[in-house]
Structures are given as C-alpha cells and as structure tokens.
Structure 1
C-alpha cells in the first residue's frame, strides 16, 4: 500500500501543479471592469462581427468591456482602464456683449464620458493615456468659444435678466461637439457675471434709488401711522380725563343738590302742606261746579235734548216716507218703461217680420217682372234685329237698283254726249242760264244803294258788264261739262 502511494505521488503532485498553474494563469488573464470604468482591450483582431457587437465603427479594432469580466491573453492583448466618473471644471471666460461691454463670466460644467460604446470609443481614441488636464482644456475651449459667440449677440440687460436662456443656448451649442469627443454634459451653471466697466452699477443705480425711495416711503408711512396712532391714543387719554372730570363734577353737583334739598326739606314740607290745602279747596270748588252743571243739565239740557230727539225722529220718519214714496214712484215708472219697451220691441219685431215678408214678396215679384221684361226685350230685340236685317237687305237692294239705274243713266248720258256733245252742252247752258245769270248778278244783290254815274250810259255799262261776266262763265261751264262727260265715259269704260 505505501508503495502504491509512493508510485502515484509524483502524478498527484504534477496534477496539483498544473491546476495551480492554470489558476494563476486564469487569475492573471481575467480582467473585471468596475461600474465606473470601461476596459479598453486592444492587440488582437476581433473581427468585423465583434466590432459591430461592441458598438465601435470599422476602424476601431478593440474591445470595450463595461460592468463585467473578460479573459485577456497576456503578452498579446493590452488592457487599459478608462474612468467614467464625473468631472467638474470651472469656467472663467472674458466676453463682450452686443453693446461692446466687457464682462467676465464664471461658471461650472460637470461632464463625463458617455455610457454608450460609441461615446466610450470616441473618448478612448481622444483621451486614453493623456493627462486629465488635456480633457479639461478641450472642454474649456469648447464652452469658451460658444459662450463668447452667444454673449456677443446679447445685451447686458438680457444677460442679467435671463441667465437660463444663456445657459441653455450654450449647453445646446456645445452638446454636438461634446458628443463628438465622447463626452456628455450632466450639468452647467453660470455662477457670476462680473462687470469691470461698472455698467451693472449704472443699471442698478435707478433700481436702487427706486428701492430706497420705496423704503423711505414705507418708513414715512409707518411713521405717519405710528404718529396717528400716538395722537389717537393721546386724544383717547384726553377724552378719558375729560370724562372723568365731567363725572366728578356731576357727582359734586349731585352731592350739593342733595345737601340743598336736605336744607330745604322743612320749608318744602310747609309749602307742600299749604299746596295740599289749596288743592283740597280747589277740589271742593270743582265738586260744587260739577253739582251746579249737573243740575243745569237735568233742568235745561235734558228737556232740550228730548225735544231735539223728537224733532229728529219726526224728520227722519218723514224723510223715510218721502224716500219710500219716491222709490215706489220710480219703480212704477221703471215697470211702465219696461212694459213700453217690451211692447215696442214686440211691435218692432212684428213690423220687421212684415217688412221682411213684404220685401221678399216684392223681390220675388220684381224678379219675375225682370225675367218677363228680359224675355220681352229679348223677343223685341230679335224681332227688331230681323226687321233691321230685312230693312238692310231692302235698302241694299234699293241702293243697288238705284246704282244700276244711275249707271244706266250715266251710260245713256255718255252715249248722248258722244253723239251730240255740242248740242247737249248748249242744252245744259240754256237750261242753266238763269242760274248763270243769277250767279253773275249775285254780287249786286247785297248792294242797298247803287250810284250810277253817267246816267243811262253808266247803267248800260253795268248791265253790259254783268252780261259780259256771264258770257265769260260760259266757256268755263262748257269746259266743266266736257270734263264731266269725259269722266263719265272713262267710268263707263272701266
């Protein structure tokens, strides 16, 4: 047994040594990333898939380990730690406002390396292995540039009244560049704005003066209120003293009055006794007067009242009788008037009914008469129309016959004219000669007195002139007759 153990002892020792060596090698190769740091492992090609998995771009051939452990090949891979803690830096930056006023702005920025693999990779490539002051200088430069640019577009009044706007604009403008560096801003505060030129003091002066004026006014108002209260208290004290003095005087007067009343008690008692005697005598006189009045009332007034009452009753009875008689007469007149009105109403109704019936009968008669007259008128009209039509036909036939006869006469006359025109004309002249002579002498008919000169010769001249005038008319008459004959002839032809 001991020989067997001795034979396997070297094997056991070798196994233990191998295990110990493996443990030491594992311990030396295992790296653990703390919660506030990141392990940057480089030196071995991790491949494209690993680069994508770790969140780095294709040019970053290293591993990033956060919050866990990993195996590292000693001698092949290098492990470096990147601190992820917060970093604070103070800013003291000289700026110039839009009004060309120099100001010194003091602030504080708290930042850190970002938590994503991309941010850690960017920060590792820029700051790993460098002095922390380098990172602070970079951050200070970024904030100084943006702060100067933003303050240059603002006035001093805007800086003083809206610091939050300045802070937010600076932080928003710096975020992109900080992200490119792999940094993330956690907090930014503007602590102080210094004014070397004293502009802030000038701005502050009117406000301070206004505040001081308000304070003085408030103090003056408080003093006035206090004075008013003191005066009111003094007045109250004076009133209290006056009231006390007045009350003391009243009490003194009451005491003196009581003493005087006590001194006058004896004379007052005598006077009261005498007054009572006078009152008793006065009462006796009043009783005597009342007795006399009652006797007069019994002897004189009551009989007079009885007579007046009797006269009043008599007058009231007569008045009531007259009223009753008047009412009876009025009632009788009312009844008579009502009966007369009823009679008149009945009579009027009967008359109205009779008038209505008579009117209806007259209307019926008038209607029948009108219908009869209308029928007669219509028959008469029809007869007259027929007669008128017959007369018209007869007249038309007569006119037609007359026209035909006239046409025949004109035709005969035209024939006669055609055959013996001269003879007919002479006949017409001879037939119408009296009329011609009458027309010739007609101008002399209206002459009342005619004076003829030259005697018989003058009268002969007048007669001869008239005859000559008639002779002058004959050609005209013949011409007219010829025209009539020609016209008749043309009508006959047509």
Structure 2
C-alpha cells in the first residue's frame, strides 16, 4: 500500500511537470517593446479586415500551438537613420542637407500589421527604406525653396518634409518621432557670401563701439590725471603757504627789532615804488600810443594784404583749373569728332574701293567678253574669206585652167627655182665644155628636173577636178614646192 501511494504520487508529480513543461512551451509573452506576430490560423482583430491570417499580441501572454502556429517578433524600438541628401534650390544652387530621422513602428494594430507585412524578415532594411522616402521628398521640397527661406525658417522645411512623408510612412506602418535638420552645407559659398554684408556691418559697429569706448576711457583718464594734478598743486600751494606762515612767524620772532627798521624803510620803498609804477604806467601808455598801435596797424595791414593775395592766388588757381578742365573737354570733343570723321572717311574709302573693284571687275569681264566675241568674229570672217577664195579658185579653174596654172606657177616660181638650184649644192668642182650655152642648158635641165612644170600642173588640176578640193579646203597647187632634187651629171675635167 505505501508503495502504491508512492507510485501514484510520483506519477502525479511527473504529470504536473509535464503539464508545466508543455505550458511553458506553448506560452509566449510579448515584451513591452515588441509585438508577437502569430500566424497559422484565421483571426479577427479590431480595426483590421477579416481573415488577416495572423494575430497580433502586445504587452501580454498567449498560448501558441507548436507545429500549428508560428510566432515571430516585431521590434517596437526606436530606429534612427541619418539623412545625407544632395539637393538643388529654386535658385539652382546645390546644397547638402544633413539631418536625422527618428522613427518606430506604430503602437496600433493597423500600423503593426502594415509593418509586419513589409519588414518582418527585413527589419535591418527599415532605415534604408525610410532614408529613401525622406530623401526624395526633401529634394522636391528644397527645389521649391530659396536658400534664404531655408536659413530663416528651417522649421518650415522640417514641417513640409514631415507632412509630405506622413502618408507613405503610414502605409509602411511607421511613425516619425523626430525629424531634425542639423546642417545645410553650401559647397559654392553662397551662404557665406550672403552673410558677409551682415558680418561686415557687425564688425563695423563693434569697431565703432570699441573706438568710442577707448575715447571715453581716454577722456576719463585725462580728467582723472587733471584732477590728480590739480589736487597735487592745491596741496603743494597749501603746504607752501603754511611753510611761509611758519617762516614768517619765525622771522618775526627772530627779527623783531630789524622789522621795525625794515617797516620804516618799506614804507619809503612803497612810496617810491608807487611813484615808479605811476611813471611806468605813463611810459607804457605813451609807448602804446607811439609804438604799439602803429605797429598793430601795420601788422593788420600786412595781414590783410597777405590774405587778399592768398585769396587772389586761390582764385587764379581755381580759374586755371577750370580753364584746364574746359581745354581738356574741348580737346576730348575735338579728338572724338576727328575720330568720327576719320571713321566716316575710312568707311567712305572702303565703300569707294569696293565700288571701284566691282566696276573694274565688271569692265574686265565685259572687255574679256568683247575680246572673245571679236576673236570669234575674226576667225569666222577669216574662215568665210578662205571659203570664198576657195570657191573663187574652183570657179576660175572650171573656166580657165591655163590661166590659173600660170598664176600658181608665177606665185611659186621662186620655190621651184630654189628646188632646182639645190641640185648643185653637193657639187664641189664643175667644168663646162661649151661655155655659156652649156651653162644655160644645164640650168634648163636642172629646172626641168626640179619641177614638173606645166604638165605637172595640168595633171594636178585634172586630179582636183575629179576628186574635188582637198579636205583642208586648200588647192593642190598650194602645196607645190618642187620635185625632189636630182644630181645633174657633170663631167669633170
């Protein structure tokens, strides 16, 4: 019996331990800075659509069925992302905006659900996504502002950026706890140049205030030194007076007797001194009347003359300066007029030269055209004349061949004789046996061999009548220069 009780008790304890272990395995508690996302069954959460597919637990515990439901945690801690955005203002000035965004997942179930759908397994990428959202809106907002607006009302820039990003952050399930613009960097120096006039004015006012303070301090020091000197003087005077009184009393005490004599003599001296003073006054008045007043009059005269001369020189110098200024203005006007006239003359010469060049070119073109037309007319006239001559010769040959042949022979007879005489060109020595008759006979034979004579002319004319004029438009008689030369048999003796 005791053994049975022990077994039952052991079994009960084991069952309790198993139940505790199972309970701890199934029980999940959400920390204050996190939310439990339990998926695996259909749940209805207030504020969310039906059939969301997961359950949200915050700040309490809940039972989870292992193997059936999955539990994941979504942090509700604050997150921070640095903003380093390159922007361009409405004025086209590039700026670098530096700031920080502090955000977190919203505490309501809608925000937690939106954030869970987007960042549950990518919570490390949350800062990057937020940075991209704020960077885009910050560039857009800065593009519509000027540098002066951003400097004077930075809160306006912050408010507009938060308002522009609010909707997108709400879709992401995030809320912005803080947005701060720390610094606006200006690589072009525009902001520094914008502050220079104010800085210069502040420096000017500071220097003026410092100079005024120095002046007041110097005046105060001088007044202090003057009062110190005055006090020292008064003190020394009083001390000297007291010392004189002491000396006087001592002298009286030591010289009581001599003082009586001295007093008597002093009275005499006083009277004499009074007389001397009256005499001196009389002499001084006489000197005033005789010397000083005339001297003052002469000094006044010289001073007046000197001032008048100085004013005259100043007036002359001013007149000279005015004259020089007028002369310079006149010279400038003259130079300007001369320059304008020269420019107009240069323009006129250029126009005349251009006109002359154009006229010369047109004249040369007309002359060349006229020469070409004249040469063409001359060639045409020459050709027509030669054609007319050929026609005339042809007509003459048809009517009187003998006369035409005789004319041709007469025109070419020098050539015929020259051709016949060429037969003697190679003879070194010649001996004639029958004298002058032999010479005449020899020349007759040479001429007969050098040219064909009238018979040859007739043959040529007959050939021309059969074949017509030659292709080049000239008569065959024009080409007669004599037959080939032959050596005359010569008997040498």
Normalised by the size of structure 1, how large is the TM-score? 0.50
Q: TM-score, normalised by structure 2?
A: 0.50
Structure whose residues are more often helix by fraction = 1
Greater C-alpha radius of gyration: 1
